[in-house]
Structure 1
Amino acid sequence: MLGVHFAITPDQERSLLAADDEGDTDTVGELLEDIEESWPGDALKVDTDKAWDAIHRCLTDGTLDPDGGEYPLSLAVLGGRHLHDEYYVVYISAAETRAVAAALRGVVRTWLRRRFDAIEDPDYRGARDDADFEYTWDGFGDVRAFYERAAAAGRAVLFTAT
């Protein structure tokens, strides 16, 4: 699964939440497709490829449990409101985006490396070697910079992995 974070507009946010409130996953899927196909540029978007998996594990409890870990780091990837049943479409509000951005500022390389080395989940498919950590660290840096931009823009965030 390839992961992407979007800093969505207020209109996109309202539409997605309304569809979710109605339990309409088809509309959520259509709205996501529209967002992906018509995204105007990369400033308020970040592709994490497959690094999102290890990033989430490092920032939480070592698993892909959306409820694992502590707020607000747990929200950076999978810890928000899930809008779809078949794949990851995870929403966090603009206020939560600001909290995540602030928390990510405090994450240093040595801390993330300790967390990475502690991943013991047999479902993790990465190599768990130095190259895998560098890939994770690079992806984390991109996610941290993205959250700074999203928070500065006052945007909610949508994470997808399909």
Structure 2
Amino acid sequence: MSCLGVHFAITAEEASAIEHLDDEQDRLFHLQEVIEEQYFENQREYIAESDHAWDAMHRSLADGTLDLNGGVYPLNHTVLAGKLLYTGDDYIMSLKSPKDVESIAQALTEISESEFRDRYNRIDTPTYQGELSEEDFQYTWDSLQGVRELYSRAASEGRYVLFTADQ
């Protein structure tokens, strides 16, 4: 089980291109063969890799679960919530508009380490596949810093944010 998460800050043209593909398999192909290739090779400043930490990050910023509708906007849109572009079991693709990106970026600037720790400690442990620990918290907090920076950059440039995770 991979479950590696990546946030991409993409342009309006790139968002439009992937949104206008009607077939979800075509969207997945476009992500893997166009967006990932382009960004990992040429635009790493528009990537925030969260590895496995995206799971705890979403739970901490939402309601303690992986529920897409859990928690309060805009923090619950940081990872999973947004416009779902793919609904298969093997991948997650969630797009956030520039307006959402601005709201998320602002909300993330207001989250202190102490507040994030309180939220992390409210994760629904029976459904969390990781182990709540100081090491896991630090791993998640460190990943959030990259995601926070990406949202800030994307907001200042009017970009969309696309969260992806292979399952």
Query: Aligned-pair distance for 1:71?
Result: 0.6
In the alignment, structure 2 segments of 5+ residues that lack a partner are: none
The alignment yields a C-alpha RMSD, in angstroms, of: 1.0
1:90 aligns with 2:66: no
> Which segments of structure 1 move beyond 3 Å, counting only runs of 4 or more?
none
**1:46-81 CA-partner distances (Å, limit 9, x unpaired):** 100011100100000000111111011011000101
Alignment size in residue pairs:
159
SS at match of 1:83: strand
The AA in structure 2 aligned to 1:36 is: E
Q: Residue 45 of structure 1 aligns to which amino acid in structure 2?
A: I
Q: Distance in 1 between matches of 2:131 and 2:152?
A: 29
Structure-1 separation of matches of 2:86 and 2:122: 30
Could you state the TM-score of these two structures normalised by the residue count of structure 1?
0.95
Matched residues in 1 for 2:38 and 2:109: separation?
30
Quote the sequence identity (%).
41
Residue identity in the other structure for 2:30: L
Using the TM superposition, give the Cα deviation of residue 94 of structure 1 relative to its aligned residue in structure 2, in angstroms: 0.7
The corresponding residue for 1:26 is 25
What's 2:37 paired with? 37
Retained in 1: the 8 A contact 2:125–2:132?
A: no
1:67 aligns with 2:69: yes
CA distance in 2 between counterparts of 1:117 and 1:72 reads: 20
Structure 2 equivalent of residue 157 of structure 1: 161
